[in-house]
Amino acid sequence: MVNTKRLVDDFIALCRINSPPRQEAAVIESVLPRLQRLGLEIQRDEAGAHIGGNADNVIARLPRNLPGAPPVFFSAHFDTVEPNPNVQIIVEDDLIRTDGTSILGADDKAGMASLLEAIECVVEHNLPHGDIWLLLSVAEEIGLLGAKHLPLERVNATMGFVLDTGPPVGKVVVGAPTHDHLTVRVIGRAAHAGAAPELGISAIVVASRAIARMKLGRIDEETTANIGTFHGGQATNVVCPEVEIRAEARSHDTAKLETQLTHMISCFREEAEQMGAQVHIETSRHYEAYRLPEDAPVVRVARESALALGLPYEAKLAGGGSDANVYNSKGIPTVVLSTGMDKVHTHDECCRISDLQTTAQWVLEIVKRLASG
């Protein structure tokens, strides 16, 4: 049923359109005519204005042809982690990759292409289905910004599937952590490093002592923490008066996350106090955790559909977030389905044609299973 040539051609065409976060207009304009031709009702929201981008989220609905079948949504994102305006795509047997000078864009155009092919097959073969919603988001790679501004109240789906993680196809992400950011400014006192270093308070030393005390990396099976960036200093002959540190912590357990954040903040404050420096700390929540049980309807449908196709089903907890975190927090149970994207966020990114095909078949099987009750 899946037209592999059409699917591959569409995937490559999508990857050739440069679409970094906040610059997705061109790729969206390439997709909309196809949705319109297939008879989907299309809405756009106002996400672009809220996030400073040139495009909005696309909310599309394929009206039901089977009364009583449950409404469902599928989701993918338009943006890529970085620009790739001169992408050179190479096809070797089953593998699609670049020449190594840029990302491919399979994250998330593998999910996007497979989803569009599945919807094409539903319409082409007049398969029975309830309302099928497509939530196609912008700016996912920079904090799930599109999904956060998507008006989910317009969507009547009872469950959702986000196509946005790597192989093996058959893996289902049923939980992801809460993710918090910290921005820390340590303010010391400048002094001449050669003439009067004792008059200065080195912000670098304060911050370094604090970081050296911290529990970082893998804290436990549910919790991680990291110092991501460290900026400051003027010259080697100046005692550094100020530094800025950006850090994060994640956990599947909110109480553990709060404990880790308190620990990190205390380290900065205690070292600053001991050395006579000041510290200013801002925290922000990137996204909220979710975890769905094996007997949740959305998990059951994903599992049974995978097993019906002979796929290696596995329920996983992710270490990172996706639009599914937002959709779950807004009240629609949602899991993440694996696709063909591999080695994402690197210039070795690639995708297997067989995985693209299998992902589209998985979406079709989910639609069929929901329609059959």
pLDDT digits (tens, 9 = 90+) for 89-99: 999 999 999 99
pLDDT exceeds cutoff 90 at 76: yes
Which pLDDT does position 312 carry in this prediction? 96
What's the average model confidence in pLDDT over 101-130? Answer: 98
**Which pLDDT does position 59 carry in this prediction?**
98
Taking residues 171-189, what's their average pLDDT?
98
Q: Are 163 and 104 in contact (CB under 8 A)?
A: no
In angstroms, rounded to a whole number, what is the distance separating the alpha carbons of residues 38 and 16?
Answer: 23
DSSP 8-state class, residue 154: G
Domain ranges of the chain: 4-176+289-372, 179-286
Domain 179-286 listed as CATH 3.30.70.360 = yes
pLDDT interval class at 180 (50, 70, 90): very high
Say which of 108, 131, 140, 271 is annotated catalytic. Answer: 140
- Whole-number mean pLDDT of the chain? 97
State mean pLDDT over 40-52: 97
What mean pLDDT comes out for the span 166-194?
Answer: 97
373 pLDDT tier (thresholds 50, 70, 90): confident
CB 359 within 8 A of CB 337: yes
The total of other beta-carbon atoms located within 10 Å of residue 80's CB is 31
Res 265: pLDDT:
98
- Reply yes or no on whether 45 is catalytic: no
8 Å CB contact between 169 and 359: yes
pLDDT in tens, 250-291: 999 999 999 999 999 999 999 999 999 999 999 999 999 999
* pLDDT (tens digit per residue) in 226-252: 999 999 998 999 999 999 999 999 999
Q: 4-176+289-372 maps to which CATH number? A: 3.40.630.10
The percentage of residues in the chain with a pLDDT greater than 90, rounded to a whole number, is: 99
Q: What is the DSSP string of 248-286?
A: EEEESSHHHHHHHHHHHHHHHHHHHHHHT-EEEEEEEEE
Q: Which residue is catalytic, options 79, 107, 131, 180?
A: 79
Neighbours of 366 (CB within 10 A): 24
Nearest to 73 by CA among 193, 200, 166, 160: 160
How many residues does this entry show for the chain? Answer: 373
Q: Is 107 a catalytic residue?
A: no
Provide mean pLDDT across the span 122-143: 97
* SS3 assignment, position 336: strand
Residue 82's nearest CA partner among 57, 58, 61, 106 is 106
What gap in Å lies between CA 217 and CA 215, rounded to an integer? 7
DSSP codes of every residue in 48-94: HHHHT-S---EEEEE--SSTTPPPEEEEEE---SS--TT--EEEETT
The phi and psi torsions of 297 (rounded to 5 degrees) equal -50, -40
Contacts with 171 (C-beta within 8 Å, 6 or more apart), sequence order? 165, 312, 313, 314, 316, 337, 338
Question: Looking at the predicted structure, is the pLDDT value of residue 179 above 90?
Answer: yes
H-state helical runs in the chain: 4-15, 25-37, 47-51, 106-124, 145-148, 203-213, 254-275, 297-308, 323-329, 353-372
What's the average model confidence in pLDDT over 282-306? 97
